[in-house]
Structure 1
Amino acid sequence: MSIADRLENLPFSRFHYQLLLLGGLGYCFDGLDGAILAFVMPSLQKLWALSTTQLGLLGSAAFLGYFMGALSAGILADRYGRRPVMMWALAFYCIGSFASAFCSSWHSFILCRVFAGAGTGAESAIIAPYLSEFVSKRYRGVFTGALAGFFSFGFVGAAVLGYLLIPGSVEGWRVALVLTSCPVVMLLWWRRALPESPRWLEKNGQIQSAHTILCKIEKATGVSSPEYPTAPDTPEKRPSFSEQILRFRTKKLRKLTLMIWSLWIAVTFSYYAFFSWLPTLLIARGFTVAHSFGFSIAIFAAQIPGYFSAAYCNEALGRKATLATYLSAAVISALGMALSDSSATILVSGMLLSFFMNGTYAGVYAYTPEVFPTDLRATAMGMASAVGRIGAIVAPLLIGVLYPRAGFPGVFGLTAFVLLLGTFSIILFGPSTTNRSLEEIFDEYPQ
């Protein structure tokens, strides 16, 4: 029985719940770091007298780091293993986020956010492919969707921190940033016992190491382990970085990659056009800081049922159908924001957009690692996440320029249009992954 077959036969157990918690907490802190900037931005704008264009540049800084971190993490994880890259990424994020709390100028703040963003981007890109390789096709969709759902707890936590700490204190933004970084040290300590992916070890010729790890997992889950001949690992010769990237030139991988990139750019652009500017846009619309942050908590809280409802739909409807449904509903919600003319309609449309946008992310994080082969899975996920961050880099800058000219209707009309493009991409070109093992999905995709 192969390593993949043994993983497919594992029942869902305490081991998988531990993976879900330790991986999910990473996404929680990633969400916390990404969202807290939205609540810090009004304070920084006042502190350093920033224009909306400068504020947009500040908002894009972390996403530049995300781009570099996600791209490098995927390549390194396919070459050297998932676990070490994940651990170093989390350490980078912790250091950069902590340092940003003590910056005295917006230029140094940007540098720290780029550094922290590199760690966050690497962490986000590696967790889903790493953990999906431990999970059977019977529950992989709901598992990975629920894993991505931890982002929502980070966003809600950021909204609460912003509401409690920032409006009443000049230095509240520094305290908030410190509080987002310090708990990561504990998570690093908890993660030290996580094993390397057996699928990655097998693909790299380390059969005995993969067998040893799987025996421990099987023992913990009450499954008997088959006999394996004792032999030293014979790691295969690793391809160069250029050879690794050039493999994406094949027709099948090129089609998959372009479809996934289109989806990620559409979702990430729209997501950060909305969330990175939300408190600032509400203040510009006439809300007080406290009222704006209160609305933001309600809108961010809608993420939680959005993620976990999509996690359920990943199995009930399939990943492709879930993505198409939630993207279409997000388009309608964005149009509702564009046409809103009262506090009540802004709140309702914003909560619906938050619900469906984050449900879309639960589908994206489950879907992307599935459609690529094991030896390129992390690279593909990292590249997709990195390309998606281009949308996140452009969105804060573009909104900073667009809002003074087009207002709410222009911002959310653009968001609806970009989401519509993502909807067409998945409907027309996305393969179905439901009830297929990771090895079957790529093999069955047409040339």
Structure 2
Amino acid sequence: MTATSVLDDAPLSGFHKRLALYSSGGPFLDGYVLSIVGIALVQLGPQMHLSDTAQGLIGASALIGIFCGAFLGGYLTDKFGRQVLYTIDLVAIIGCSVAQFWAGDPVWLFVLRLLIGMAVGADYPIATSLLAEFTPRRYRGPLLGGLMVMWFVGAATAYVVGEALLTVGDNGWRWMLASPALPAAIIVLLRLGTPESPRWLAKKGRVDEANAVMRKVFGDRASISDLPEEERENAGLVLLWRSGYLGRMLFVSAFWTCSIVPLFAVYAFGPRILGALHLNGQLANIGSALITVFFVVGCVLAMVVINRMGRRALIIHSFLWSGLALLLLGLVPSAPAAVIITLFAAYAVLIGGAQNLQWIYPNELFPTEVRGTAVGLASSLSRIGAAIGTYLVPLALTSWGIGTTMLTAAAITLLGAVISMRWAPETRGLALHESAALTDPATTGA
């Protein structure tokens, strides 16, 4: 084993699998939190006499929180470490989720969901940076992509739990919004004892601690001398403004936005959107859960083919064909229920590639010093569009109708295909320091 391959070419161990599982807690909670509100609003809206504007704000509040929390979490994890913040953010989710049970007005509910979104957003750069910096190159794409699978598992779980809690009476929505506290508590317990990233420790001059982690994870003979040298730059936010990294940041933020605006709108108002497509009542909730299963299938398929197909080809095809499925939904909004579900299922499966690459590209395209900051900033910027889109969904359904609303979603998705054709790089098979280096010829994009 060469000096530079101890980490990047290591076999997949039990430690890597456990770390991937623990890191998936944030995406699971994200999908759960953003989806459960869609069902809760079915009961909550009439009880509190919420207008379309109020429903849009409550639906988008967690996204606004993610905008603030992701960048802050990224900056803090680059400054203070990945492991320190790895559980703190989930403790905040537990407290705010429980507090939602006693929310007595929409303003208080908006504030609590804003805080939950901040904690969820902070977990993105923390968990993904830690996983990327420990994972061998061969498994980095599938394991990071697997985090997105857990987003949809969380969303599917939310629909099942929400449907069950609708039967408990008028307070069902309170139990729904408090329910994320339980999985968050389980994830906190699982994460205890996770080691710090040796790459980050080495960058901070904490050599003895870095060597201890290397020996613990990779064997008694491993040390930081086995870590590859990264391209040295001016550390900090200034690095992100250099021409090459600024281009990468714009690409990641743009494609991430195009991939989540339609998706988050569907998850925040899934039952209402399907209702507008003539799938009403329990059928709308069941349809939402079924579509979520297809989202999981799409992400799993993307995990399987990503190393064979490559990052660039996968993201282009994902955007293109899923956009066409949404286009057909917009053109035939009065089609039979079977056709509507089939087209939604096609969108869900085909968008899996773009969804997986939300976690892979930003972690591969930036160096250790600013990896967390870059992931957090890209996530924050993408949430601006997602929050606006989610807020506008109930207004669009009322003013434009379902057909035009779905055509707008198709246009955003197809824009993602155009952006990817122009700027998506290929990072398949590269070590982390190679994919993050501006001078490496294998990264041909931004």
Q: TM-score, normalised by structure 1?
A: 0.92
Task: State the 1:282 CA deviation.
Answer: 2.4
| Counterparts of 1:418 and 1:314, CA distance in 2 | 23
CA deviation profile, 1:379-427 (whole Å, cap 9, x unmatched): 0000000001112210122222211122111111011111111111122
Task: State the 1:2 CA deviation.
Answer: 9.5
Task: State the 1:358 CA deviation.
Answer: 3.7
Determine the structure 2 residue equivalent to 1:268. Answer: 260
| Counterparts of 2:3 and 2:64, CA distance in 1 | 38
Determine the structure 2 residue equivalent to 1:404. Answer: 398
SS at match of 1:7: coil
Task: State the 1:93 CA deviation.
Answer: 1.6
Determine the structure 2 residue equivalent to 1:281. Answer: 273
- 8 A Cα contact 2:165 2:176, kept in partner: yes
SS at match of 1:11: coil
Task: State the 1:26 CA deviation.
Answer: 3.0
Determine the structure 2 residue equivalent to 1:377. Answer: 371
| Counterparts of 1:214 and 1:263, CA distance in 2 | 35
Determine the structure 1 residue equivalent to 2:48. Answer: 48
Determine the structure 2 residue equivalent to 1:333. Answer: 325
Look up the equivalent residue of 2:430 and give its one-letter code: R
Q: 1:397 to 1:25 in 2, by over 3 A?
A: closer
- 8 A Cα contact 1:265 1:388, kept in partner: yes
- 8 A Cα contact 2:266 2:273, kept in partner: no
Task: State the 1:289 CA deviation.
Answer: 2.4
- 8 A Cα contact 1:269 1:395, kept in partner: yes
SS at match of 1:375: helix
- Give the alignment's Cα RMSD to 1 decimal: 2.1
CA deviation profile, 1:75-130 (whole Å, cap 9, x unmatched): 11111111122221111122112211221111110010001111111112322222
| Counterparts of 1:422 and 1:126, CA distance in 2 | 26
| Counterparts of 2:269 and 2:105, CA distance in 1 | 21
Determine the structure 1 residue equivalent to 2:221. Answer: 225
Q: Does 1:343 align with 2:337?
A: yes
Task: State the 1:4 CA deviation.
Answer: 5.9
- Match for residue 382 of structure 2 among 385, 388, 406: 388
Q: 1:2 to 1:203 in 2, by over 3 A?
A: farther
Look up the equivalent residue of 1:271 and give its one-letter code: L
| Counterparts of 2:223 and 2:71, CA distance in 1 | 39
Look up the equivalent residue of 1:114 and give its one-letter code: L
Determine the structure 2 residue equivalent to 1:232. Answer: none
- 8 A Cα contact 1:63 1:392, kept in partner: yes
| Counterparts of 2:148 and 2:274, CA distance in 1 | 27
Determine the structure 2 residue equivalent to 1:79. Answer: 79
Determine the structure 2 residue equivalent to 1:236. Answer: none
- 8 A Cα contact 2:301 2:352, kept in partner: no
Determine the structure 2 residue equivalent to 1:37. Answer: 37
- 1:138-153 residue pairs with structure 2 within 5 A? 138-153=138-153
Determine the structure 1 residue equivalent to 2:230. Answer: none
Q: Does 1:313 align with 2:305?
A: yes
- 8 A Cα contact 2:210 2:223, kept in partner: no
| Counterparts of 2:363 and 2:425, CA distance in 1 | 13
Structure 1 runs not aligned, ≥5 long: 230-238
Look up the equivalent residue of 1:203 and give its one-letter code: K
Q: 1:178 to 1:54 in 2, by over 3 A?
A: closer
Determine the structure 1 residue equivalent to 2:171. Answer: 171
| Counterparts of 2:160 and 2:40, CA distance in 1 | 12
Q: 1:76 to 1:3 in 2, by over 3 A?
A: farther
Q: 1:169 to 1:429 in 2, by over 3 A?
A: same
Determine the structure 2 residue equivalent to 1:324. Answer: 316
| Counterparts of 2:163 and 2:384, CA distance in 1 | 29
SS at match of 1:432: coil
| Counterparts of 2:248 and 2:70, CA distance in 1 | 18
- 8 A Cα contact 2:53 2:395, kept in partner: yes
- 1:292-307 residue pairs with structure 2 within 5 A? 292-307=284-299
Determine the structure 1 residue equivalent to 2:129. Answer: 129
Q: 1:366 to 1:283 in 2, by over 3 A?
A: same
Task: State the 1:3 CA deviation.
Answer: 8.5
CA deviation profile, 1:119-153 (whole Å, cap 9, x unmatched): 11111232222201101111211111123211111
SS at match of 1:417: helix
Look up the equivalent residue of 2:84 and give its one-letter code: P
| Counterparts of 1:284 and 1:409, CA distance in 2 | 9
- 8 A Cα contact 1:96 1:116, kept in partner: yes
Task: State the 1:227 CA deviation.
Answer: 6.8
Q: 1:369 to 1:430 in 2, by over 3 A?
A: same
Q: 1:227 to 1:368 in 2, by over 3 A?
A: closer
CA deviation profile, 1:12-71 (whole Å, cap 9, x unmatched): 011111112111233212211111111111112111111112211111111111111101
| Counterparts of 1:8 and 1:28, CA distance in 2 | 27
**What count of residue pairs does the alignment treat as equivalent?**
432
Structure 2 runs not aligned, ≥5 long: 226-233
Aligned-pair identity (%): 26
CA deviation profile, 1:323-376 (whole Å, cap 9, x unmatched): 111111210111122123221121111122222234421122112210111111
Look up the equivalent residue of 2:173 and give its one-letter code: W
Determine the structure 2 residue equivalent to 1:258. Answer: 250
| Counterparts of 1:318 and 1:267, CA distance in 2 | 18
401-410 or 194-203: which moved more?
401-410
| Counterparts of 1:168 and 1:38, CA distance in 2 | 17
| Counterparts of 1:227 and 1:438, CA distance in 2 | 17
Determine the structure 2 residue equivalent to 1:67. Answer: 67
Q: 1:405 to 1:18 in 2, by over 3 A?
A: same
| Counterparts of 1:355 and 1:330, CA distance in 2 | 8
- Match for residue 362 of structure 1 among 356, 359, 378: 356
Q: 1:4 to 1:87 in 2, by over 3 A?
A: farther
Task: State the 1:318 CA deviation.
Answer: 1.2
SS at match of 1:84: coil
- 8 A Cα contact 1:30 1:154, kept in partner: yes
Q: 1:22 to 1:4 in 2, by over 3 A?
A: farther
Look up the equivalent residue of 1:129 and give its one-letter code: S
Task: State the 1:157 CA deviation.
Answer: 0.3
Q: TM-score, normalised by structure 2?
A: 0.92
